[in-house]
Structure 1
Amino acid sequence: MARKLVSGLKKKGHSVIWFSAPEETFAILVEGDTKLLNKDLKIRLLQDLGPEIRSQMSLFGTKMYYEMDLLTRAYNMYMHGKLDILHVFHSSFGHLAHFFEELTGVPTLYTLHDPMPTEDMLEYWLFERFPKQRFLSISKSQQGKLSSHFFGNVYNGADINEFKFNRIPNDSFIAVGRMTQEKGIDIAIQASRKANVKLNIASWISKNVEISEYYKKNIAPYLNTESIKIFNLLSGSKIVSMYQKAKGLIFPLQWEEPFGLVMIEAMACGTPVIAYNRGSVSEIVRDGLTGFIIDSDIKVMKGSGKWTIKKQGIEGLVEAIRRIGEIDRANCRRHIEKNFTI
């Protein structure tokens, strides 16, 4: 999303400087000290610090120092008149820019991507510490009880030139996302088996995933069949092709997803979304028009009971799968063109 933002700003005539690790970009790239990336640096060996903890703390320290270096370069450029505003497009509240902004007064915008912290988290203290800074959410549900702290809300978007419309799918469904319990891919498998439909799964299967209890117990036993196939998480034209060919995206979230890009990517291709009513789903999917919203049988959320399909949980997903032909794929495309384009 950050790359798309840079591209869009450039097209509008703005000069953009990208502070990041080395990568391709349309902007002027400013890197941090690459010594931190090219060497396996360790923190000082402390008493009673085991090798695994030391390794994890070293990785965290490397990331923190690299970001401190980048941030210092950015604020120095502002102080020398080379920047007008800083936009921290970061996935965490724990960014040092909050402190830098308070010290310098440099106008800074923060786009937040994570769910709001609870009161027992360090990030909650940080959010309360800087209530007047310019925070942007990516959905209104993400703001939660802290909506008064937000400067505004800007939804993510899809490039409709990349995600092209396809009117006629094949007979399979798709599930996309990280292989974690939060994404609910195991539930998508259960629903597709119960509905007796084919399911293609696009996810990243790392060694850590393969040895996880979640994967071994809930995913692996159902693979390598004619009806359920898994593909290592794809990108570019390959994932677009999977979206285009699918009758529907099954997205039974188990957490409060702040946005969920896969939903708008699928709908841009004309593919309806079947999703649990969690997080931002009801802001993105138009129930009965671009897909079906299903109440989870675990948690009561805003809007519960008002959806087209009254059954909950897996039974609701199964009914939605069987009724997917009621959704006009052209409506899905139009919905994204009108509300979620870049």
Structure 2
Amino acid sequence: MKIAMLSPIAWRTPPVHYGPWELVTSLLTEELVKKGIDVTLFATANSITEAKLRSVCQRGYEEDKSIDPKVWECLHISECFEHAGEFDIIHNQFDFLPLTYSGLTDTPLITTIHGFSSPRIMPVYKKYNRKTHYVSISNADRSPLLDYIATVYHGIDTGNFTFNPNPTGDYLLYYGRVHHDKGTKEAVEIALALDMRLIIAGIIQDQLYFDTYVKPFLKEGKIEYIGSVGANRRDGLLGNARLLLHPINFNEPFGLSIVEAMACGTPVVAFNKGSMPELITDGKNGYLAENSEDAIEKIRKVDKISRQSCREVVEKHFTKEVMAQSYIKVYENILNK
């Protein structure tokens, strides 16, 4: 089986800090290679992989602002499809644009839909609905307008996340991009209401939002912003937190930060939106809250959650090994047809 894995080129694959699509693509690619599958990764030239690497773009356009995203995305996608005949399957992790090339090849195309950035992109997905294959990353993120061959949850490398049964930090952790969708403002308000320390880690995606709702409340030992953290700091930060606070304002398709926190044994208190009920069993590995007031009450009883249960949920459902095996079944299903 020969697979062409088409990664996004906003960031390196895997990313240095932020880049969830590139991260998942990398984890899947490396696990497939371990299982003996012939994978060619189409990604930026500075990507790191055990697969065969093909690239036309040197660096991610979010890392090098001199790179025009539209120009290099066109060159990147076309590089993959111009070699489509070399592969049994093209696995598209790149969103909707590669679908428009699918009619030019007989090689089956599978697209992992990492979420819908806007309803305006739906006409492309609808046009190629029955001509290609769609995988959802949660049941909650499925569109009733599309057909799906499977739901495959994202998986992580549990070896990079140390289970910590006895955390030393008495702080709430907000771990994600600073943006209204992710609920940074609500996290600050909840921490202030509880008079608990809050650490905010992640890229600032909306500077005005940060300056308005976060910056005025920053104070060492109370509300702290530490920026984006890499793998060297992530493990300790997640593992020593009392809980991960995830007060989202949108229907999140998945939520890698939740799985990563649970892998360290850290329970999650999240707003009950999108895929959250598929990741969190209320009272077992965290709590689902309807609003900020509800979250405050759930946080007060978070010590009742077993940190061992949090880790076990990840090991059963959300590892890279489980993810890869699920995708192999999808590939086999397509090829057998």
TM-score by length of structure 1 reads 0.80
SS of 2:165's partner is coil
Partner of 1:280: 275
Backbone CA RMSD of aligned residues = 2.2
The 1:116/1:229 distance shift into structure 2, 3 A limit, reads: closer
Alignment partner of 1:165 is 2:163? yes
The separation in 2 between residues aligned to 1:28 and 1:237, in whole angstroms, is: 27
Instruction: Specify whether residues 39 and 327 from structure 1 end up closer, same or farther in structure 2 by C-alpha distance, changes over 3 A only.
Output: closer
- Residue 87 and residue 251 in structure 1: after superposition, are their counterparts in 2 closer, same or farther (change >3 A)? same
**Structure 1 counterpart SS, 2:191:** helix
Equivalent in the alignment of 2:5: none
Distance 1:99 1:114 in 2: 18
1:39/1:282 Cα in 2 relative to 1: closer, same or farther (>3 Å)?
Answer: closer
Separation in 1, partners of 2:232, 2:152: 26
User: Does structure 1 retain, via aligned residues, the 8 Å contact 2:45–2:57?
Assistant: no
Gaps of 5+ in 1: 42-58, 296-312
Which has more radius of gyration?
1
* Preserved CA contact (<8 Å) 1:115 1:257: no
Matching residue's letter, 2:308: A
CA separation in 1, counterparts of 2:70 and 2:88?
25
After superposition, the Cα gap between the structure-2 partners of 1:262 and 1:39, relative to the gap in structure 1 and judged at 3 Å, is closer
Q: 2:75 aligns with which of 69, 72, 75?
A: 69
Question: Do 2:170 and 2:242's aligned partners in 1 also have CA atoms closer than 8 Å?
Answer: yes
Measured in 2, the distance between the counterparts of 1:318 and 1:192 equals: 8
Question: 1:139-179 CA deviation, whole Å, 9 max, x = no partner?
Answer: 11111423x42121110012110011000112111001111
Unpaired stretches in structure 2, ≥5 consecutive residues: 1-23, 321-337
2:78 maps to 1:83: no
- For residue 82 of structure 2, give the secondary structure of its aligned residue in structure 1: helix
Q: Structure 1 counterpart of 2:44, which letter?
A: A
> Out of 51, 56, 70, which is 1:32 matched to?
56
Match of 2:199 in 1: 200
**In 2 relative to 1, CA 115–70 (structure 1 residues): closer, same or farther, beyond 3 Å?**
closer
Q: Is this contact kept in 1: 2:87–2:107, CA < 8 A?
A: no
- Amino-acid identity (%): 28
Q: 1:306 is matched with which residue?
A: none
**Per chain length, whose mean CA-contact separation is higher, i.e. which structure has more relative contact order (CA < 8 Å, sep 6+)?**
2
Moved more, 260-269 or 123-132: 123-132
Report how many aligned residue pairs link the two structures.
293
**1:173, 1:33 → 2: CA distance?**
39
2:125 pairs with 1:127:
yes
SS at match of 1:274: strand
Q: 1:326 to 1:19 in 2, by over 3 A?
A: same
Deviation at 1:215, TM superposition (A): 1.5
Tell me, in whole angstroms, the C-alpha distance in 1 between the residues paired with 2:293 and 2:134: 39
For residue 40 of structure 1, report the CA deviation from its aligned partner. 8.4
Using the TM superposition, name which of 238-247 and 67-76 deviates more.
Answer: 67-76
